[in-house]
Amino acid sequence: MLENGEDILLVSNMLGHTDSTMTLSRYERYIKRENKKRGQFLKQELTPNGTEFDTELLNIA
């Protein structure tokens, strides 16, 4: 479920875990991690006038 993008809080509740930390600590090793571009909204928010921004600071491409 988590691998398919289901909400962590929903999964945690369905499994009867006390919180999402418990769910992630048990199942994180089974979740595939793809090289997705993350944090792109930050790049857009921090450079509203189109100026250059060092994405290495946020570890995003």
What pLDDT is recorded for position 17? 93
pLDDT tens across 1-24, in order? 887 778 889 999 999 999 999 998
- Contact status, residue 60 vs residue 37, Cβ threshold 8 Å: yes
The model's pTM is: 0.50
For the chain, what percent of residues have pLDDT higher than 90?
25
Q: pLDDT category, 56, cuts 50, 70, 90?
A: low
Choose among 27, 29, 24, 55: nearest CA to 42.
55
Element containing residue 15 per DSSP (H, E): helix 8-15
